[in-house]
Amino acid sequence: MPVYSAVLYSPVAKRIILSAKENGVKAADDLIIHALSHSLRLLLRDFEVGVLVPAPSRKSSNRKRGRDFLSEITHSIARSESLDCMDLLIHTRRIKDQSELNAHDRSENIYQALAIDRNKLSALGVDTDVILVDDLLTTGATLLEARRALEVRGIRVIAAITACLSPPLR
């Protein structure tokens, strides 16, 4: 699955993402929206339009933050680009926070932890292509699991976009 990313992950990028996610800093949101929009424009050079689908956040994280950060950001991008956006994916079980896990543990942690929200499935048209959206690509475990959950239901994932790309974990 092709993944388009705008910025290499760095200490500055980390602070911006955390400021947006954990503190709701609008300027940080705007920087992430700009980076994701850039990634989307790169993707649209190679692919036709698809429905934007954000990677789901853990419910506990959303409660703690008081919002679903990535969903809000993705819907904002969809509005500005005149694209459709759907929050199709949900967690089917508890997972650990992935930020402190190595590549192998991330894959095990997220494996078969995502599924399509059945309440939203009927709103998706036949032969709809989707574009996954996440803030950061580290190992690819979340994007691969999201793709698996969608493709099991016959939904084609054409690519993914992220704001940042991290150097590989060991």
CATH code: domain of residue 157: 3.40.50
Tell me if 137 is assigned to some domain: yes
Tell me if 122 is assigned to some domain: yes
The reported pLDDT for the residue numbered 57 is 85
d(CA 24, CA 119): 28
Tell me if 98 is assigned to some domain: yes
Tell me if 170 is assigned to some domain: no
Tell me if 67 is assigned to some domain: yes
Q: Is the pLDDT of residue 69 over 60?
A: yes
d(CA 133, CA 62): 17
The model's confidence at residue 118, banded by pLDDT at 50, 70 and 90, is confident
What's the whole-number mean pLDDT along residues 112-137? 83
Q: Please write the tens of the pLDDT for every residue from 9-22.
A: 999 999 999 999 88
Tell me if 120 is assigned to some domain: yes
Q: Please write the tens of the pLDDT for every residue from 128-154.
A: 889 999 999 988 999 999 999 999 888
Token representation of residue 47: 């692919």
Q: Please write the tens of the pLDDT for every residue from 27-45.
A: 999 999 999 999 999 999 9
The range of the structural domain enclosing residue 123 comes to: 3-165
The domain total for the chain is: 1
What angle (nearest 5°) sits at the alpha carbon of residue 110, between those of residues 106 and 115?
160
For 118, half-sphere exposure in the C-beta direction (CA atoms, 13 angstrom radius) is 1
DSSP 29-96: HHHHHHHHHHHHHHHHHHS---EEEEPPPPHHHHHHHTS-HHHHHHHHHHHHHT--B---EEESS---
Tell me if 108 is assigned to some domain: yes
pTM, rounded to two decimals: 0.90
